[in-house]
Amino acid sequence: MSTLSTTESAGQRTQNLARPGRIKWGRIGAYILLVLFAIVYVGPLLMLVNTSLKTLPDFMKSATSLPTSLNFQNFADAWSKANFPLYMTNTLIYTVSATVIYLITAVFVAFPISRGYVKGSGLLLTLYVIALFLPVALIPQFQLMLSLGLYNNPVGYIMLFLVNPIGIVILVNYIKTLPMDLDEAAAMDGCGYFRFVTSIVFPLIQPALATVAVLHAIGIWNELILPTIYLTNKDYYPITRGMIVFQGVYGSNWPTLAAAVLIMTLPMLVIFLVLQRYIVSGLTAGAVKG
Amino acid sequence: MNNYHFGRGRARLAPYLLLLPGFFFYLVIMLGPSIATGVYSFTDASGIQGTTLHWIGLENYREFLFLGQASIDNYGALFRTLVFSFFVTTIQFSLGLGLALLVNQRLKGINVFRTIFFMPVILGAVIQGLIWSLFLYPLGGPLASILGMFGMRSEFLGGQPNEAIAWVIFVQIWANLGVTMMIFIAGLQTIPEDLYEGAQIDGASRWQVFRNITWPMLTPSVNTNLLLNIIGSLQAWQLFLVLIGYRNGTQVLGYLIFAQGFGQASGSVTSAFRQGYAAAASIVLFCLVLGIGLPVQYFLQRREKRVLG
């Protein structure tokens, strides 16, 4: 691996020095490695597509061969049997409402911490940073929700997602880049605190908001443990829980199961390709403050 | 504190009042419960509504660590957690670095590769797990067919515990490699080009360039990645749930906590709602995370001071 470990600039140099017409073995080697890795990443997905287009008998005969004819029945089956319309709607409701409420409350936490407008800002920020190390909160959290009567309750379930410490840290860091003069000038013009945050800070931190929103929403969308613990009523299931239950029932009917997994994967892939910039920064920005 | 511009007197309270909802949720849903885990670990909390709590002192810890076969199984889970974390951290770290170096070159189509390697990160444990469950389907699934061509066969996730765990390690790395890679890429891009130009003029070999420029300059992302990988893998267990379920000889601590606390264990091992016991297990895991995380953090920071001054 070390022979390929050139960085952009070093690699560029060597190429410039290379005589024209010389075969660039380094480049070819790099591509070979990349393609091998890409196969491990894309292969399983392609196999999923392949399986979803087959009938069950075809799959039993040979799992890897290409389908003889395109069979979309699996998708229709999965759509209705896995209860997609209901579970997708549930997931959507949970994700959107929790993300919106979280974002609004988060800015009102991050802004004064970042500016030092509340006493003990440093300590507050520390409380958010150490979250990574804290013990699992599952048990007392469950006891609390149970005693509040919020067990098996969609509102209670949404409440669990009104927290995201990394999001606060990202917002605090971003707000630090806004000049202090802004606050002063606005206050001079008679702008109040609430109005300043809502009409000036919010629009100015849009990139950070998008990053945090995407990070938070993906987490809720993919959450499996909390619905397993808190939601026993099938009508409240999000899609993740629905999928696991569906797998339990249709575990050996891979064509239908593969179709269901694909239906669940596609929206995520589309969102990923559209919002890639924010997603990458969101999922790696958690790392900014280790 | 005197730099507040938006009025005095009662107006000074605005930031406090508006901060309250967000902080309240954090306190009640995460920070409070997290700390209360320590308190619950000394009780016989059951998680069944209407039952009363009793203070039982260190009983849960005694049982977890010293009582009969169950404690031996617990040490097994503890050991597996460490093994899982070790392999995930070392492999994900080295592969992530290698991939970052590869995709940080100016090659045609390189962005496509970056996208592909990062993609699984967003899919979540359910999809990640199901994709590989299909790929590793022992009855004629893709990998089974390929092995079959060489006259080999395997049960994969349903096989021997060690083999099943090895596959979970593989899927865990497959799923999260993109994050490690991206953090390294971000680090690589902060290295000034003139350093490389200087090395070029001095006629340094690629290995020397890596050893003396890239690696030391990457120190911040090395630290971040190591710490995130260690802590993340010690606490990870969702792929165990999706890929193999709660099966004897494969459990890690995180899964054990969940199964003991919520009795959702499927498969051969049954467990009840033993939330006090699960809380004690959570504290054991917490000690593991601190016991490994803090020394590593200390060591990394000392190294960073030495390397970057």
- B14·A193 Cβ contact <8 A: yes
Q: How much is the pLDDT for A5?
A: 37
Nearest-Cα distance to chain B for A51, in Å, is: 9
- Look at residue A258 and tell me if it is in a domain: yes
Residue A182 lies in a domain: yes
User: Residue B54: helix, strand or coil by DSSP?
Assistant: coil
Contact call for A196 and B6, based on CB within 8 A: yes
| pLDDT value, residue A14 | 45
pLDDT at B222: 94
B39: chain A residues, CB-CB within 8 Å? 140
Residues in A touching B119 (Cβ below 8 Å): 41, 269, 272
Upper half-sphere CA count for residue A264 (Cβ side, 13 Å):
37
* Structure-block tokens of residue A24: 């660039």
User: Can you give the pLDDT at residue A224?
Assistant: 93
**CA A12: distance to chain centroid?**
35
b/e map B179-196, b = 16+ CB within 10 Å: bbbbbbbbbbeebeeebb
Q: Please list every residue in chain A whose beta carbon sits closer than 8 Å to the beta carbon of residue B208.
A: none
The answer to whether the beta carbons of residues B121 and A33 sit under 8 Å apart is no
CA B89 to chain centre: 9
Both A198 and A245 in a single domain? Answer: yes
pLDDT in tens, B88-116: 999 999 999 999 999 998 888 898 999 99
Among A8, A224, A268, beta carbon nearest to B106: A8
In a domain, B186, yes or no: yes
Q: Domain range for residue A218? A: 78-285
Which residues from chain B sit within 8 angstroms of residue A131, using beta carbons?
Answer: 30-31, 34
Q: CB–CB of A228/B49 below 8 Å? A: no
- Stretches where chain B sits below pLDDT 70 are 1-2, 264-272
Contact residues, chain B, for A199 at CB < 8 Å: none
Let me know whether A198 and A246 are in one domain: yes
Indicate whether B99 belongs to any domain.
Answer: yes
Residue B132, pLDDT score: 94
Contact B120 A41 (CB under 8 A): yes
pLDDT attached to residue A20: 52
Residue A61 belongs to some domain of the structure: no
B80 CB-near residues (< 8 Å, 6+ apart): B165, B250, B251, B252
Quick check: A276 and B19 CB within 8 A? no
Give the CATH number for residue B107. Answer: 1.10.3720.10
CB contact under 8 Å between B6 and A183, yes or no, is: yes
What CATH code is carried by the domain that includes residue A88? 1.10.3720.10
pLDDT (0 to 100) of residue B298: 94
Note whether A86 and A40 are same-domain residues.
no
The verdict on A146 and A98 lying in the same domain is: yes
Q: Do A35 and A146 fall into the same domain? A: no
Let me know if residue B15 belongs to a domain: no
How many other C-beta atoms are found inside a 10 Å radius of the C-beta of residue B79? 12
Query: How much is the pLDDT for B105?
Result: 86
Interface test with A, best of B113, B122, B137, B256 (most A CBs within 10 A): B122
Distance between CA atoms of A231 and A157, rounded to whole angstroms?
8
Same domain, A273 and A223: yes
Please tell me the distance in Å from A15's CA to the nearest CA on chain B. Answer: 11
Residues A159, A15 share a domain: no
Q: Which long-range contacts (CB under 8 A, 24 or more apart) does B243-248 make?
A: B243/B129, B243/B132, B243/B133, B243/B157, B243/B164, B243/B167, B243/B168, B243/B171, B244/B157, B244/B158, B244/B164, B244/B168, B247/B161, B247/B164, B248/B73, B248/B161
Name the nearest CA neighbour of A116 among A196, A187, A176: A176
Interface test with B, best of A35, A129, A139 (most B CBs within 10 A): A139
Inside any domain, residue A62: no
Measured from the Cβ of residue B118, the count of other Cβ atoms closer than 10 Å reads 22
**Residue A108 to residue B22, Cβ atoms within 8 A:** yes
Q: Which tokens go with A68? A: 């003889």
In contact, A279 and B122? CB cutoff 8 Å:
yes
CB contact under 8 A, B19 and A118: yes
Is residue B219 included in any domain, yes or no?
yes
Whole-Å CA distances, A235 to A154, A239, A248, B154: 10, 11, 18, 39
Does residue A124 sit in the same domain as residue A258? yes
* Cα A219 from Cα A105, distance rounded (Å): 18
Beta-bridge partner residues of B43: B55
Cβ distance of A63 and B140 shorter than 8 Å: yes
Digits of tens for pLDDT over chain A (290 positions)?
333 333 444 444 444 444 455 677 888 889 999 999 999 999 999 999 999 998 888 888 887 788 877 888 999 999 998 899 999 999 999 999 999 999 999 999 999 999 999 999 999 999 999 988 899 899 999 999 999 999 999 999 999 999 999 999 999 999 999 999 999 999 999 999 999 999 999 999 998 999 899 889 999 999 999 999 999 899 999 999 999 999 988 878 889 999 999 999 988 888 888 888 888 877 776 554 33
Cα–Cα distance for residue pair B75/B234, rounded to 1 Å: 15
> Residues B99, B102, B104, B105: what is their CA dihedral angle, to the nearest 10 degrees?
-170
Residue B18 lies in a domain: no
How confident is the model at residue A21, as a pLDDT? 57
Angstrom distances, CA of residue B191 to CA of A24, A145, B15, B94, B308: 25, 49, 40, 19, 13
Counted domains in chain B: 1
Considering the domain architecture, whether residues A228 and A161 belong to the same structural domain is answered as yes
- Within chain A, how many helices (H) and strands (E) appear? 16, 0
Residues A2 and A146 both lie in one domain: no
The answer to whether residue A273 is domain-embedded is: yes
Domain count for chain A, please give it.
Answer: 2
- Please give the residue range of the domain that contains residue B169: 24-308
Q: Is residue A264 exposed (0-12), middle (13-18) or buried (19+ Cβ within 10 Å)?
A: buried
Note whether A63 contacts B145, CB cutoff 8 Å.
Answer: yes
| B43 three-state secondary structure | strand
